Amino acid sequence: MRNISSYFGRLVKTVSIGLMLLFSISSLQAQDVKEGESLFKARCTACHQVNRAGVGPALEGMTERHPDEDWLVSWIKNSQALIASGDEAAVQLFEDYNRIMMPANLDLSDEQILGIIAYVEAEEVRLAEAAQAPAGGEGGAAGASGDVSALMLVTVALIAILAVVVIVVLNRVVRTLEKVVEQNKEAILKAQGEPVEKDNRLLLFAQAFVKNKKLVFFVLLMVVSLLGVWGWKTMWNVGVHDGYMPVQPIKFSHQIHAGVNQIECQYCHGGAFKSKNASIPSANVCMNCHTTVTAADHYNGEISPEIQKIYRAVDYDPDTREYGDNPRAIEWVRIHNLPDFAYFNHSQHVTVAGVECETCHGPIESMEEVYQYSPLTMKWCVDCHRETSVDMDNEYYDQLIEAHEKLKKGEKMTAAMIGGLECGKCHY
């Protein structure tokens, strides 16, 4: 019996260890896919899509076309070296895509590149399942509640209209009765042979209005209410700039870049997922594509005037493909500008909370010129915070739980455990 119990115990221990290893491997794979997604959006989306060809080929079926994993890692890390070595597959791929050279990624480790490959494979599966799934509308997030002052204005306007209708009807009844009385009076005077005098109707109306204290009070109340609502709405919108669309030094079209070419927001605004500010991309980011893409087919073979502005900013000669020593800054006009006393951290919303850029910036992929879509008022932010559920399955909340557990045990807890090393804590 003891031997059976000992054997059963070893069996349970072995199975437990196996399950733990399986869970650890699954977790690591999921983490690789998540990290691969971030790297793909930051590094690859300017030229590649999973299911659509762009500057580079569509990546769907990449592992089937090139089953050698080591070859894929070498190609992504330094395609230029692989082509220079005379590798047949690398040379053929280079020739197939108009001899456009892919930038090297020497700063990425093999594990990070494998994470990108894992994300592409996972995205293939997701797109295939989405294509097979029956069409159906997705429940969108509830929009922000309407402006209270606007509701008050509409309500007061409806009451005023109703009151005017009632007053007009009553006035017509009174005028009809007065007309009947006046006709009877005239008939009596004519019968008696006395002269008939016509009364001033406007003067009579003014006298009747002044004598009617309830009507005077109601009219004054309506005037004060309308002025109050108008003043409240005016003061409420002080500093609110939704719809603001300044003229920029370069006519950059988000509709072409984010809409038609489907470039991820984070490729240009890389700070959105790792720092407080989303950051405006430098002209060097533009040049990653526009050393090759010049839109000449739309300008009779000439380089687009807007792309020429980028070349002048970085002092780039498209004929010699060389940079000069006199670059200058592009003076973009800021559109979204919060007050100094309001703190907003992009990384907490984008990376931790998983908020989509469109939630605040609106349909950016359809904007030819960017404008401020949301009011960005305190009420608007508070309403969003009240309606948005918190995803607890992320590293940030894991650190908080760990810190609280240490507090319960009486162990030491440092500021770093609860986000004290974040840049935004000091660099406000």
| Residue 90: closest CA among 104, 76, 111, 103 | 76
d(C-alpha 167, C-alpha 182), whole Å: 22
Q: Range with the lowest mean pLDDT among 202-206, 231-235, 347-351?
A: 202-206
pLDDT at 196: 59
Q: What is the mean pLDDT of the chain?
A: 80
pLDDT band at 424 (very low <50, low <70, confident <90, very high): low
So what's the pLDDT on residue 295?
85
Q: Are 259 and 366 in contact (CB under 8 A)?
A: yes
Q: Where are the alpha helices (DSSP H) in 44-138?
A: 62-65, 69-77, 79-84, 88-96, 110-132
Q: H-type helices in 199-356, by residue range?
A: 201-211, 213-236, 254, 265-268, 283-290, 305-314, 346-347
pLDDT exceeds cutoff 50 at 282:
yes
- Give the mean pLDDT of 248-272: 92
Q: What is the rounded distance in angstroms from the CA atom of residue 54 to the CA atom of residue 56?
A: 5
> Where is mean pLDDT largest: 16-30, 221-235, 389-403?
221-235
H-helix or E-strand spanning residue 86: none
Task: Please say if the pLDDT value at position 311 is more than 60.
Answer: yes
Q: Contact 95/33 with Cβ under 8 angstroms?
A: no
Task: Show the tokens assigned to 195.
Answer: 């002269």
Checking if the pLDDT of 262 tops 80, the result is: yes
Per-residue pLDDT, 244: 93
**Span 265-284, average pLDDT:** 89
Structural contact between residues 150 and 388, judged by C-beta atoms closer than 8 angstroms = no
pLDDT-derived band of residue 197, with 50, 70 and 90 as boundaries? Answer: low
CA distance linking residue 59 with residue 52, whole number of Å: 8
At residue 31, the pLDDT reads 52
pLDDT, average across residues 122-128: 81
CA angle, 60 then 102 then 350, to 5°: 65
Share of the chain above pLDDT 70, in %: 84
Report the distance separating Cα 104 and Cα 75, nearest Å: 9
Given a cut of 60, whether residue 7 has pLDDT beyond it is no
Retrieve residue 61's tokens. 């079926």
According to the model, what pLDDT value does residue 133 have?
Answer: 63
Average confidence (pLDDT) over 333-361: 90
In three-state secondary structure terms, 45 is coil
Element (H, E) at 322: strand 322-323
Residue 327 phi/psi, 5-degree rounding, is -75, 155
* Higher pLDDT, residue 22 or 368: 368
User: Is the pTM for the entire model greater than 0.75?
Assistant: no
Q: Tell me: the pLDDT tens digits for 139-181?
A: 443 343 445 556 777 887 888 888 888 888 887 888 788 788 8
Radius of gyration, CA atoms only, the chain:
36
Question: What would the mean pLDDT of 315-340 be, rounded to a whole number?
Answer: 92
| Cα 263 to Cα 253: distance, rounded to the nearest angstrom | 12
